[in-house]
Chain A
């Protein structure tokens, strides 16, 4: 049960990434605006990318939470 739930949880960042990096959400960034002198679109894409990497790193490097064995 727990394993299935974990599998489903693992899908969440992936689905989020698919949505964030695709049409139509990507159009949010597609405008003639600069951030600190840089065009918004590449900055946003690299930004989303960096956040995703950080997310995977956080999940992957976190020590597995030791569940107390059940029982009374």
Chain B
């Protein structure tokens, strides 16, 4: 097809992307966000599928059957853990305004600039081949589309002069797009609405295109998948593609490799800069994660459904012709003359590559700007934090330059190294590079003991091993260094051969590299972390990260680990300088007048400013900036623990206050409720009598009796409430004297004799002949006894009630039990019988009472140094008991002891 057509289509597609992004930005500005739902979020995660998936999967499937799958099964495993791992990442990033993976790791280990720079460096080195791969795919696609119909083989890489190379122009156009939608705001914690919408749109395009070509091959060129497989059975090379042994040579199953691939993919979907960007930074609402957790795997499932049919179909179709299987998706429609489909597939491939390039460059440029360039600038004299001039523009420009630089570097890599390997092996090298972040990042989220030194050591070690075992051999394959080096190691030391370290052979190069690099990485991370205790800042950050879920659960605020003196005016000037006048000023509610007065900021404001700045320049740089305008105390480990302790205590005190407040509210509402009932009946009856002058005397008598009874109940209630209040506030007067409990019980039973007789209740008192005296207020103690007795009397059955009162003398105390043969306390209510206004039984059947008797009794007994309880199992009926301490005179107690 003609070059102008393809070029026009390519740039038309990019324009469409611009339009989608622009619409999304406009909708967001109008408050109707397009991306604020789980489906779009899930689709935007589809940025995982790059040109590698789009072209490379088929190539890999043609060679080794189902071996393309682990790369997509890994994300499934990661998404199964979304609610545990990803949610934690999102919450941490949201709380501390973390905008990149470098920032995440650096922030966890005490906001270390060195660590941030190291992570950035690893990312850039590891990701460049991946970027080159996308450009290569676009360039290959263009070459195939514009090639003469007969020319089936792809033209040699780098054959075109650079100024005629589409890949260069695609790179530049993408740089423009990325700059427009990726660097609009400074604070990356504020999402890139337009970019996310465009990426979700691209996900749909590439899926539709791939499904279209899949259907075309499966049912257009063949008679369905079964037909393809049946024909493949006739070809010896294809027969094994349905088995695990395919591609591994000997026919055995390289399970270590399978496992490594799945592990690699699981880690990559969490740790690749673009995945982190989409999944964590651009997450609008953590609730969307639930839907994305199945939408994203379902997306991967669909996009892989036709990989095998296309791969096998392509092999059958082209037979012995020397065709690169990576290009089957394009070549099959082209060879069949399906021009429209070929164009669609080309656009799909373009969308797969551009989505990756856009998000990856946004993510990496943020890292480069915040973690490499800015720290260097801050160190430069004359650029210190106190120097004037707004930084907003400068920061954005640094990002824009880094976007262009990253894309151009990727292009250079593609020109120099392109075509040396299949797409898949390049992608896996990048995967293995970002997998090095796993110990520091995942470990740091769950293990408080991980230290900066451990993270630095682990990352460096892992990266060096990665470079030695994967990067160098790939250079050797490109012919830049001698192949002999790979085969026999440096200085012909076979033990150091990069792809068989220490003689570990039999693994493929990726598994081998992953094993050694992660071994060294984890070993150094854990070893160095245990070797040296962490500093104060590392400890405080570790606490903030690891406990994030707990805090979220308790709704508590994080402690602020900062002490010092900061003037609000200085902080304000700093945030205005970094964030701009409008956004920087928002933080300071008091406005200019507060700032002008030289007022001091509290730790919480300093923390807020620092977090806000972290969103713009990264936590490490924000730390440096804030430290430069305030006078701060260097915190020691003891201080960190003290602050944490304070925060915990404060939270506990707050919770206690809150619950007391709640209690008071409940109390007031119960009291008013209890007062209203008798009041209502008194009022109703009085009104009735007032309105009916000719009421007969018997009726009036009965009514008046009720009024009197209810009034008595009211005054009893008021007395008890006052009593309770006095007891609770500790203002009750106690007139303690030596009290003979036995005599008290006898007189209490006597006082209630009339009531018992009326209801036909038998009272059996089992009392020793004499008991030692206790120190108590006799009236209060009588109150307790009367309460227990009247309680029991209320619940026993009419006519055959029985109440047992026992008094026993122990070594140090007297125990009283009041047992009845009533219905007992239902298990559900047992815990609450001593709560105020909790009466046994439901509202309809329960006897009249205030619901304050038991709580008051318990309080009195507690005040006298004793305790009151409900017997756990009284065997039918309820049994309340209490115990009062005897004065310290053991002989006297022993003398009066009587066994039961």
Contact = CB atoms under 8 A, between A and B. Distances in A.
Given A27-B244, A32-B243, A52-B80, A37 B301 contact: no
Nearest to A6: B83
B244 A22 contact: no
A67 to B, nearest CB: 16
B553 interface: yes
Nearest to A18: B77
B66 A42 contact: yes
Interface stretch (B288-296, B452-460, B853-861): B288-296
A13 B73 contact: no
A56 B294 contact: yes
> Counting chain B CB atoms within 10 Å of each CB, which of A14, A22, A31, A34 scores highest?
A14
Interface stretch (B253-261, B500-508, B673-681): B253-261
B665 interface: no
Contacts of A72: 828-829, 831-832
Contacts of A18: 77
A57 B290 CA distance: 8
B244 A41 contact: yes
A31 to B, nearest CB: 8
A10 B81 contact: yes
Contact of A45 (B69, B81, B227, B829): B69
Contacts of A23: 253, 255, 258-259
A69 interface: no
Contact of A60 (B76, B294, B829): B294
A54 B258 CA distance: 24
B242 A53 contact: no
> Counting chain B CB atoms within 10 Å of each CB, which of A22, A42, A61 scores highest?
A42
Interface residues of A, number: 37
Interface SS, B side: helix
B752 interface: no
B79 interface: yes
Nearest to B239: A32
Contacts of B83: 10
A50 B300 CA distance: 11
A38 interface: yes
Given A37-B230, A52-B76, A52-B297, A21 B262 contact: yes
A43 B301 CA distance: 12
B653 interface: no
B226 interface: yes
B80 A17 contact: yes
Contact of B244 (A26, A34, A37, A52): A26
A17 B84 CA distance: 16
Contact of B297 (A14, A30, A53): A53
B66 A41 contact: yes
B298 A53 contact: yes
B258 A61 contact: no
Contacts of A39: 229, 241-243
B816 interface: no
> Counting chain B CB atoms within 10 Å of each CB, which of A10, A45, A72 scores highest?
A72
Contacts of B225: 37-38
Contacts of A38: 225-226, 229
A27 B253 contact: yes
A37 B312 CA distance: 14
A2 to B, nearest CB: 10
Nearest to A22: B259
Nearest to B304: A46
A27 B253 CA distance: 9
B226 A36 contact: yes
Nearest to B80: A14
Contacts of A17: 76-77, 80
A53 B294 contact: yes
Contacts of A22: 255, 258-259, 262
A32 B229 CA distance: 12
A10 B243 contact: no
A30 B80 contact: no
Contact of B81 (A14, A26, A53): A14
Contact of A46 (B84, B227, B259, B301): B301
Contacts of B832: 72
Contacts of A41: 65-66, 242-244
B345 interface: no
B136 to A, nearest CB: 28
Contacts of B291: 60-61
A61 B290 contact: yes
A37 B79 contact: no
B377 to A, nearest CB: 43
B128 interface: no
A68 interface: no
B479 to A, nearest CB: 36
B180 to A, nearest CB: 35
B695 interface: no
A15 B227 CA distance: 36
Contact of A30 (B241, B244, B290, B294): B244
A56 B293 contact: yes
Nearest to B300: A49
Nearest to B830: A72
Contact of B84 (A7, A45, A60): A7
Contacts of B293: 56, 60
A56 B79 contact: yes
Nearest to B295: A57
A30 B253 contact: yes
A53 to B, nearest CB: 5
B757 interface: no
A18 B69 CA distance: 14
A17 B262 CA distance: 11
B341 to A, nearest CB: 24
Nearest to B38: A60
A2 B209 CA distance: 45
A27 to B, nearest CB: 7
Interface in B294-334: 294, 297-298, 301, 305, 308
Nearest to B77: A17
Interface in B421-475: none
A27 B293 CA distance: 28
Contacts of B227: 37
Contacts of B81: 10-11, 14
Contacts of B245: 30
B73 to A, nearest CB: 5
Given A18-B77, A45-B66, A11 B84 contact: yes
A3 B229 CA distance: 48
Contacts of A3: 549, 553
B544 to A, nearest CB: 19
Contact of B226 (A30, A37, A46, A53): A37
A13 B294 CA distance: 13
A23 B77 CA distance: 15
A11 B263 CA distance: 16
Nearest to A12: B80
Given A14-B81, A53-B294, A34 B255 contact: no
A18 to B, nearest CB: 6
A19 B230 CA distance: 31
Given A37-B225, A39-B241, A56-B79, 8 more contacts: A14-B77, A30-B243, A37-B227, A54-B294, A56-B294, A61-B291, A72-B831, A72-B832
10 contacts: A10-B84, A26-B258, A37-B226, A42-B66, A42-B308, A46-B301, A46-B305, A49-B76, A53-B298, A60-B291
Interface of A: 3, 7, 10-11, 13-14, 17-18, 21-24, 26-27, 30-32, 34, 36-42, 45-46, 49-50, 52-54, 56-57, 60-61, 72
